[in-house]
Structures are given as C-alpha cells and as structure tokens.
Amino acid sequence: MAHKHGHGRERIQFANAEDKQEFSKYPTKAGRRSLSRSISQSSTDSYSSAASYTDSSDDETSPRDKAQVNSHGSTDFCVKNIKQAEFGRREIEIAEQDMSALISLRKRAQGEKPLAGAKIVGCTHITAQTAVLIETLVALGAQCRWTACNIYSTQNEVAAALAETGVPVFAWKGESEDDFWWCIDRCVNNDGWQANMILDDGGDLTHWVYKKYPSVFKKVRGIVEESVTGVHRLYQLSKAGKLCVPAMNVNDSVTKQKFDNLYCCRESILDGLKRTTDIMFGGKQVVVCGYGEVGKGCCTALKALGAIVCITEIDPICALQACMDGFRVVKLSEVIRQMDVVITCTGNKNVVSREHLDRMKNGCIVCNMGHSNTEIDVASLRSPELTWERVRSQVDHIIWPDGKRVIVLAEGRLLNLSCSTVPTFVLSITATTQALALIELYNAPEGRYKQDVYLLPKKMDEYVASLHLPNFDAHLTELSDEQAKYMGLNKNGPFKPNYYRY
C-alpha cells in the first residue's frame, strides 16, 4: 500500500487574485537560504521541531477554548498550557548560557533603554532562543506582542514561560491554518495598543497588516525581516511602490549569511543524519548538490569524518572553489549509481529528479539542507508502483517493485530543522543582528530611511561580531593613528568596503 502523505499542508490561500500576485513567494536565490529557526518556508509548511518535548496531542481542547490566567491575573495570551511555564523558564535559562551577546546588550543598554516607547509586534519561531531575544527587547524598554511564524516549531513550554512573565504570546505547536491567522490577528488587533515596529520571519505578519489593518502603518517606524521568503515579499512590495515604511533585510547581513548558513550547517548536517539513520560516515560516497555557504559547511564536516565527497554545481566560481578545496565536481547523473548519500543545498527545485531516484543503489540516503521541500522531487515518489514505509519519525523507506529501498529523510524538508536541533550560539549572532536592526530603525532620525528595503550598516555587523568575541577570549588588535591614515580607515571601523566579500 502506498503510504499516505503525513501532515503536509498547502501554501496559504490569499483572498483575491490581486493579493496573490503581490505576495507570491519568489523562489530563493540559488545557494542562499535562511536558517536559524527561521526557515524560509511558509509558516504552514509542516516540519516538526526536535527541540520541543511537549506533544501537541496530549490534550484535545483547543487553546482558543481554554480560559487561562497567569499569576499576575492577565488573560492576554493564548498558549497550550500556562502551567508549563516553570519548565519553559529552565529551557530559556539554558539558551541564555550560549547567547551571552544578547545578555551583554541588555547590560549595556539597561540604563538608556533605546527601545523605550517601542511597541513591537513579532512573528517568529517561538523557541528558547527567540525567547532570549524577546526578553532582551523587553529589557531595552520595548512592549512586545508575539506569535508564531510556523505551525509546528513552537515550544509550548517556552510560550508558557513568556506568557507567565507578561509577554502576550499567541502560539502553540500544531496550530491549524485558521488558528495561525487567528493568532496573528490577536497580536495586531488589540484595543488601546498599537504597534509601531514589526519583526517578521517569512512576511506573513506584514501581509496580514497590509490586508486587514493598513492604517497601522501610519504609526509603524519600520519592519525588520529575517528570512529569504519575507525579504522577497518586501522587495516585491517595494517594486510595486506599495511599501509604505522602511524595512531592514537582516537575512543578507554578513553576520547572518556567513555564520548561520556556513557554520550552523557544518555542525547540524551530521547531527541530522546520525539521529535519523545512525550512519557511519567513514568511506561513504557522498554527493552534495550546491557549493554555496550551506554546501561548503556540509562538505567540511563530511570530509573530516572520512567520507568521499563530490559536488555538483552550476556556477563556475563555486565549482572552482570546490576543486581548490579538493572535491571532484561532477554531474549528478554520472555518479548517482555509486552514491551512498545524496544531499541537496541549492535553493532550487527538482535537483534530484525521479530519474535520479530510479537509478540510485539499494540503501541510498536522500536528504535536503536547502531552503524548502522542492529540491528533491518527492511528489514523483507518491506513485502506485512504489511503497512508502515509515520506519521512524522523519524516516521513510521507499520500496521499488524489485525490492530496492531508498531512504528519504523528513519528506525532503530541511534536515536540520526537522530531524535535529540548531546550535544556540549561531542563533545568538542572528538574534543580536535583529535586535540592533530594531534599535536602528526605531531611533533613526526622520528621513534617514526612505520607504525602501535596506541592509544593516556594516558598522553594526562589526558590532554584532565584537559582542561574540569575549566567548572565545579573543583580543582585537587596534590600529595606530599612522596605520589608520595609511589604510584610509577610521580606527573604530568600518574596516571593509561594502563590496568586500568575507
């Protein structure tokens, strides 16, 4: 019997054709993708968060139908179970250990409160790491209301801990699509409270405000967006002349691209593969499709454990980098019969086609580290002659008529976010960048930013990096006056021109 598709959900339906055109989601630029827990998939794409231990099926009553009160007597929140707050607080405290940059940002700015008067409405993954960000914003003087950008990624106990401290949170793991938009609506539409800043991940909150409450933009000083998808939606609005406030593109900051995508994947690729298949990497033949930041991270880790790695690439520059790093650059069709593992990291679609899947050897593992579930043509495997067998959570064996098995992980969705966790320290870098972008837009003098999409100033990228150096007891060298003059630099930075590629 063919195994029925699990909880895959369709893309969000927009109300009318005009809306649809305005917000249609662009495919990602090849090789770029948003990671952290901000996957650049739409909020309603399914994926299960490995970091949450609370099961959403343990209580059938919808959180919307429960009357819950926190210990301060407030009912302005909607979470799975407020009683889990203490457990969630411990999760947040563990995350704080590895996010010292945000903690030092709190200490530095505690006196001056750069976000005093800011009313931030946020839509991100609700995990222990984002909780540290939210509580930092509150410490800097902001009032926050928060909701989830993905229906599966919320850690229920963390949402409860935030609601207990008085942050109105509307989110739980396993929301329906109707719940998802209801939660966003409850965040934005609140008597006597109107947002003046938006922090978005994927652009759904921004879309809802445009559709339902356009008057809110009269008060909003700026939008900070952190994912590939959301940034594309902003550029579309900007092109159409419909963006009526300045927006900050955090996704393409150096501190996001070069760290989240490279180092995060270098550590989480092995974690995701080990947890699902317990594979031994030594001597395995692996092909990695795409040698952008994500591909580079994956290859470094695999090579270090003794795997024999080859690359596929469309870009001659990335291909030459792969050659210089000691990898063979091949076409997938040339090597597919010999491969033990196939990993996609392109941000493209149908990189692994049904034809490739038909030619794989028995026991080949196929997975995706790229931006959404389009890279492997999983849909082509849902055909009558093939049998799907769910082996364990996020692991399917697809059996061909002759008995051959191919192992597909997470139904072709993001391996590390679906099957393992993502290192907190890397998320600290991204979250600090988000906090500084909010401070910058909120405090910018009238006219500094027009109604357009901006990248964070390089000075801020450098500041984010400097906040993370004490973790390693790293000591920066300072330029002498003479050296600074010779280089034509300010002693305090920025140290590189804007076109510099780190």
- Overall average pLDDT of the 427-450 stretch: 94
- pLDDT tier at 423 (50, 70, 90 boundaries)? confident
Question: d(Cα 369, Cα 237) in Å, to the nearest integer?
Answer: 29
Domains and CATH numbers, the chain: 65-256+422-464 (3.40.50.1480), 264-419 (3.40.50.720)
- pLDDT on residue 151: 79
Place of tokens 């801990």: 161
Annotate 343-360 with DSSP letters as a single string: EE-SS-S-SB-HHHHHHP
Q: Mean pLDDT highest for which of 8-12, 259-263, 317-321, 419-423?
A: 317-321
Does the pLDDT at position 10 exceed 70?
A: no
pLDDT value at residue 59: 55
Nearest to 442 by CA among 103, 215, 181, 195: 195
Mean pLDDT calculated for residue range 222-244: 91
Contact 224, 38 (CB under 8 A): no
Place of tokens 């959900």: 9
Residue ranges with strand state E in 83-203: 119-124, 143-148, 169-170, 197-200
**Cβ contacts of residue 201 below 8 Å, gap of 6+?**
38, 123, 124, 125, 149, 225, 226, 227, 230
**pLDDT recorded at residue 78:** 96
- Cα separation values, 156 from 147, 210, 255, 437, Å: 12, 29, 29, 27
Single-letter amino acid, residue 62: S
Q: What is the pLDDT of residue 12?
A: 45
Work out the average pLDDT over 215-234. 91
C-alpha 261/C-alpha 413 separation (Å) is 16
Q: How far, in Å, are 14, 190, 193, 219, 300 from residue 216 at the CA level?
A: 20, 12, 11, 6, 47
Mean pLDDT over all residues of the chain? 87
pLDDT value of residue 45: 41
Q: Count CB-CB contacts under 10 A for residue 272.
A: 26
- pLDDT value of residue 371: 66
For residues 339 and 363, what is the distance between their CA atoms, to the nearest angstrom? 10
Predicted pLDDT at 282: 97
Binding residues for NAD(+): 292-297, 313, 416
Residue 35 pLDDT exceeds 80? no
Which amino acids are annotated as binding site for substrate, given as ranges? 127, 201, 226, 256, 260
In sequence order, the β-bridge partners of residue 247 are: 223, 453
Q: Is the pLDDT of residue 288 over 90?
A: yes
* 324 and 316 Cβ atoms separated by less than 8 Å: no
DSSP string spanning 42-81? Answer: -TTS----TT----GGG--S-GGG-----TTS----B-S-
**Residues 456-474: pLDDT tens digits?**
889 999 999 999 999 999 9
pLDDT band at 48 (very low <50, low <70, confident <90, very high): very low
- 472-497 pLDDT, tens digit per residue, is 999 999 999 999 999 999 999 899 98
pLDDT in tens, 135-175: 999 999 999 999 999 877 789 999 999 999 999 999 998 88
- Which value, to the nearest 10 degrees, does the dihedral of the CA atoms of residues 292, 298, 301, 302 take? -120
pLDDT, tens digit (0-9, with 9 covering 90-100), for 81-98? 999 999 999 999 999 999
Q: Is the pLDDT reported for residue 238 higher than 70?
A: yes
In this predicted structure, the answer to whether residue 402 has a pLDDT above a threshold of 90 is yes
Instruction: Give the pLDDT band (50/70/90) at residue 1.
Output: low
Residue 9 has pLDDT above 50, yes or no: no
- The answer to whether the CB of 159 falls within 8 A of the CB of 80 is yes
pLDDT of 54: 42
31, pLDDT greater than 70 = no
Q: Is the pLDDT of residue 293 over 80?
A: yes
Residue pair 306/283 in contact (Cβ under 8 Å)? The answer is yes
Question: For 273-278, what is the mean pLDDT?
Answer: 95
pLDDT score recorded for residue 421: 77
**pLDDT of 49 strictly over 90:** no
Least confident residue range of 173-177, 202-206, 425-429, 439-443: 173-177
Q: Say what angle helices 85-97 and 156-164 make with each other, to 10 degrees.
A: 100
**Average pLDDT rounded to a whole number, residues 346-359:** 94
Over residues 405-420, mean pLDDT: 87
Residue range 340-365: mean pLDDT, rounded: 95
pLDDT > 90: percent of the chain: 70
What gap in Å lies between CA 149 and CA 138, rounded to an integer?
20
Q: What is the pLDDT of residue 61?
A: 83
Q: Which two tokens stand for residue 284?
A: 């395995």
Kindly give, in sequence order, each residue whose CB lies less than 8 Å from that of residue 126, ignoring residues fewer than 6 positions away. 146, 148, 153, 154, 155, 158, 159, 162, 169, 171
Binding-site residues sit at 127, 201, 226, 256, 260, 292-297, 313, 416
Q: Tokens at residue 185, please?
A: 């609506």
